[in-house]
């Protein structure tokens, strides 16, 4: 079993993100400082298990996590920003009524 990392500070880094067709630097301090964040990582976007099991389970538990003090839920993967954005769009399309 993995070691519990609850309460540990996330290192200060800058993430290169793509937002509305523009490159935007997002600092880890802006994402995590002063917040309780559930951070999870996946092996890869569009992989069958991540798309059908891992990500949906965090979506199902979002209300429970928030009710227990989690401010943000952040998903991280090895994919580049273009793949992650396409995956997010695909997931929203599949779960929207």
pTM above 0.85, yes or no: no
Maximum C-alpha span of the chain: 40
Q: What is the pLDDT of residue 96?
A: 61
Given 38, 50, 70, 83, the catalytic residue: 50
Concerning whether 50 is annotated as a catalytic residue, the answer is yes
Within the chain, residue ranges assigned H as helices are 28-32, 48-49, 55-67, 81-95
Per domain, the residue ranges of the chain are: 16-21+35-95
* 16-21+35-95: CATH superfamily: Glutaredoxin (3.40.30.10)
pLDDT of 45 > 80? The answer is no
* Mean pLDDT computed over every residue of the chain: 84
């Amino acid at each position: 079993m993995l070691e519990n990392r609850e309460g540990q500070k996330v290192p200060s880094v800058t993430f290169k993100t793509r937002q509305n067709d523009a490159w935007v630097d997002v600092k880890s301090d802006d994402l995590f400082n002063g917040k309780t964040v559930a951070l999870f990582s996946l092996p890869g976007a569009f992989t069958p298990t991540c798309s059908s099991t891992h990500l949906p389970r965090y979506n199902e538990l979002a209300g429970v996590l928030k009710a227990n003090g989690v401010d943000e839920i952040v998903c991280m993967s090895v994919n580049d920003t273009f793949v992650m954005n396409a995956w997010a769009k695909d997931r929203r399309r599949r779960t929207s009524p």
